[in-house]
Amino acid sequence: MTEHTGSYYAATVNKATDYPPLIGDQSADVCVIGAGFTGISTALHLAERGYDVQVVEANRVGWGASGRNGGQLIGGISGEQKVANHHKRDVEDLFGELRWAGHAIVRERIQTYAIDCDLKYGYLDVAIKKRHLREFEADCRRLEKSGFPHEFRMLSKSETSETIGTDAYLGALLNMGNGHLHPLNLCVGEARAAESLGASIYEQSPVLDIEKGHRAKVVTERGSVTADFVVIAGNAYHALERQLRGIMFPVKSFIIATEPLPENVVAQINPRDLAVCDPNFLLQYFRLSADKRLLFGARFNYFGEDPAVIRKSHRKKMARIYPQLADARIDYAWGGTIGVPINRVPQLGRISPNVFYCQGYSGHGVNVTHLAGQIMADVVAGTAERFDLFASVKPLVMPGAHLLWKPMVALGILYYQVKDRL
């Protein structure tokens, strides 16, 4: 049971949450385990439909990756092609609209509940190698064919340099349908929206057991919730159920936040206030915060959360792209854990007839978690079509992965470092 990490987001949250722990025996229609984006999105969708929902969280709302991530709202669902192949369907027919559904939910939530979370539109996929340009050109053709309603176009090397003030990239794909936001403020805002509709949220209440039955019982140290349905939404932080062990790797990603940058520097490096991401597995991503800090994130072979280590690693990476920031003060440095399934397909499934789980977004969490919450609310309500789309693709299992995940992830990182360079 811990408080938030020392992130920029935790330091600038609109209002910190302080929900009580679960004490005593409670009853509900649905108990949701985990108060990150998946759990809160599920709870809010259910509360809007009139369900009595209780959310149980081990730490704080948005404590995990939901409140620590890069804040990039990016379309797409990892593992799309694998899901389409499994169903013998064309990937565009299956995912053409679905890959953007989370965006619509986020926009609707922000507007309906007046959530202040610094939402801005505009995003660049940047190319490091020629093969990336070919991939972006194919994406551009796909967007054109689908009638994508937002501005999108390929940028040349010189146009990319003019747009984000660096010569580090060969070109880019601009997409004004994607964007960026303050993820913790979004998650907390949605939690308060769910609470306003009657949902109960309990923090500092780690789940010790789930007793299966006609009505399942979620047990914590000081209380319990007996419910018709349970939704497990712990993502990389939940290993209570044996069935969920070894099907997903917890992968660390790290972010730094500089001091607020002068206006002339902002005008040099990102005058259009775009989010930026490269296509590598060990990717780098960055954007400006509302107060004009550069938030710069990347993965590297490290499993701790020492801010000094993160600062040292990321300052070098950031300075390769923006030499003018080599001496910028770094005010925040933190890490978080994302869930990466072995086959990269989001994992939706059942532990028992009335106990569901939903996890594993491989870094596409802001978008896909909101769609996932809607899908989980659907399956609770008896509509399983979209749930079965993913649930029928059985997770690949790596025996012992929950015990040996650090050396396995380290080997995976080395593998992808080589692959990214080829």
- 205-231 residues labelled b (16+ CB within 10 A) or e (exposed): bbbeebeeeeebbbbbeebbbbbbbbb
pLDDT at position 274: 98
Nearest to 118 by CA among 194, 184, 193: 184
Query: What DSSP string runs through 207-269?
Result: EEEEE-SSSEEEEESSEEEEEEEEEE--GGG---SGGGTTSEEEEEEEEEEEPPPPHHHHHHH
Find the distance separating the first CA and the last CA of the chain, reported in whole Å. 43
pLDDT at position 237: 75
Nearest to 30 by CA among 10, 48, 46: 46
pLDDT at position 415: 52
pLDDT at position 402: 54
pLDDT at position 318: 98
Find out whether 58 and 204 touch, Cβ atoms under 8 Å: yes
- Half-sphere exposure of residue 70: CA atoms within 13 angstroms, side-chain side: 28
| pTM to 2 decimal places | 0.94
Q: How far apart (Å, rounded) are the C-alpha atoms in residues 375 and 386? A: 6
The letter for the amino acid at 303 is F
Find out whether 226 and 217 touch, Cβ atoms under 8 Å: yes
| 37, burial (CB in 10 Å: exposed 0-12, middle 13-18, buried 19+) | buried
Q: Sort residue 355 into left (φ over 0), alpha (ψ -120 to 50) or beta.
A: beta
Q: How far apart (Å, rounded) are the C-alpha atoms in residues 232 and 149? A: 35
pLDDT at position 407: 53
pLDDT at position 308: 94
Q: How far apart (Å, rounded) are the C-alpha atoms in residues 323 and 302? A: 24
If the chain, 422 residues long, is cut into consecutive pieces of 10 residues, what is the mean pLDDT of each piece?
A: 91 97 98 97 98 98 95 94 94 91 97 98 97 96 94 98 98 98 98 98 96 97 98 81 78 94 98 96 92 92 81 96 97 91 90 95 89 98 96 80 53 57 62
pLDDT at position 416: 52
